[in-house]
Amino acid sequence: MTSSSSTRWTMPAPGTNPDSKNSSTAARPGKSVDQVAPGGSAGPVAIRIAWQLVPGKGMPVVNNPTNIVVCPSCGAENIQGVDTCEHCMADLRGIDVPETRQVASDSALALPVSAIRFSKPQTVGPEATLRQAVAAMLEGSAGAVVVVEGTKVVGIFTERDVLKRIAGREDLLDAPITAYMTKDPVVLRDTDMMAYALNKMGDGGFRHIPVTRDGRLIGVATARDVMAWIMGKYFD
């Protein structure tokens, strides 16, 4: 989904940054700043709190994923699927047989990601400009735009990328999205457990993760979506 280059976009004044008094808004390609979530009720801190909730009154959620990989270097426990140890950064890709722990069958974390209501994905192709990507986000009132090539997810560009990288730099709006997107982002399958999704959001600091079904993009799981689902399931 793209928009014409005539779309107007109101930007903060040059040199300002709504998230920091000390850092600059100078545009720069690189790692997604979507991993940063200061404040806000649905950021990585809130996701970590949800992940740590244990069985008890009012919130019968467990904090043990199905498969635990024990780091051979430091002994720390990591959820299956991560490439490096969260604590010592040791390579875990060569460990084939994880220790198994079963999530309680009635736990919310045992349900598939498809149990939550996804945000509708806003998409652009790799040939799109930043102007078109921002227009797509505004048109869909979305916090992120997913870059797809054919049916493959090749990148993601978020509202925080806008604020941190290009705000105040109108001269960059005709630059290619591929120069500023996060390439090969973490992607969830709709069959992945909520435990896995929470781990990815909490440990990676992600607020938006594309969700696929049979390799095709079907939605974007946001931190707000996940927290709203948890709150609705247990506290309504």
Task: Kindly tell me if the per-residue pLDDT of 171 is higher than 80.
Answer: yes
* Residue 191: both structure tokens together: 């069959």
Question: In this predicted structure, what is the pLDDT of residue 188?
Answer: 95
Q: How confident is the model at residue 138 (pLDDT cuts 50, 70, 90)?
A: very high
d(CA 191, CA 66) in angstroms, rounded, equals 14
Question: In this predicted structure, what is the pLDDT of residue 117?
Answer: 85
Q: How far is CA 25 from CA 53, 74, 205, in A?
A: 36, 38, 20
Question: In this predicted structure, what is the pLDDT of residue 15?
Answer: 38
d(CA 151, CA 138) in angstroms, rounded, equals 23
User: What pTM, to 2 d.p., does this model score?
Assistant: 0.59
Q: Which of the pair, 59 or 236, is modelled with greater confidence?
A: 236
Residue-range domains of the chain with CATH: 113-235 (3.10.580.10)
Question: In this predicted structure, what is the pLDDT of residue 74?
Answer: 75
What average pLDDT score do residues 7-18 get?
A: 38
Residue range 180-236, pLDDT digits in tens:
999 999 999 999 988 888 888 888 889 999 999 999 999 999 988 888 887 877 676
Question: In this predicted structure, what is the pLDDT of residue 205?
Answer: 86
d(CA 74, CA 104) in angstroms, rounded, equals 28
Question: In this predicted structure, what is the pLDDT of residue 134?
Answer: 94
